[in-house]
């Protein structure tokens, strides 16, 4: 059994992600954390992101071939904006069955719900193209 040690890098990554309201990609997070730890390596970032996902401290969002990360581990819904491509949290019912689990001869344990549309910000700056 492998113990887990404290590391300045992992702490900084988690802290940075928790301080954000968006859901950055690995590269976005990398650039951000490098302001604190300039010689942080990409390998370390990825190793830690994977570890944090496995230990359930963060969540990985996969949509359209992109990977985004979220420090909020409570089940909640997301919006992926068609225009700016960013992810946003949506008001999510507390009721687990807000999404009706279909009858299925197997086990449905959890779900991921992502809406597509236009985010508040992009809707305001309504640029018709």
Binding residues (CB under 8 A) for a copy of itself: these are: 60, 62-67, 77, 79, 81-82, 90-93, 98-120, 122-123
Question: Closest by alpha carbon to 82, among 49, 118, 30?
Answer: 118
Q: Does 23 bind DNA (CB under 7 A)?
A: no
Q: Does 55 bind DNA (CB under 7 A)?
A: no
| Cα–Cα dist 87/81, whole Å | 6
Which residues lie across from 25 on neighbouring strands? 68
| Cα–Cα dist 52/7, whole Å | 13
Show the site string, 88-127: x = touches DNA by CB under 7 A, - = not: ----------------------------------------
Query: Which strand (E) or helix (H) includes residue 121?
Result: helix 120-124
Positions touching DNA (CB under 7 A) are: 2-10, 25-27, 37, 39-44, 46-50, 65, 67
Binding residue positions for Zn(2+): 81, 84, 119, 122
């Amino acid at each position: 059994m492998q113990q887990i040690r404290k590391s300045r890098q992992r702490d900084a990554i988690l802290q940075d992600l928790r301080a954000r309201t968006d859901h950055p990609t690995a590269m976005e997070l990398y650039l951000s954390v490098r302001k604190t730890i300039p010689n942080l390596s990409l390998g370390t970032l990825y190793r830690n992101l994977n570890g944090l996902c496995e230990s359930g401290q963060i969540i990985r969002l996969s949509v359209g071939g992109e990977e985004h990360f979220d420090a909020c581990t409570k089940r909640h819904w997301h919006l992926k904006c068609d225009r700016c491509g960013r992810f946003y949290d949506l008001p999510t019912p507390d009721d687990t069955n807000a999404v009706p689990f279909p009858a299925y001869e197997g086990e449905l344990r959890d779900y991921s719900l992502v809406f597509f549309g236009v985010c508040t910000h992009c809707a305001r700056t309504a640029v018709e193209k």
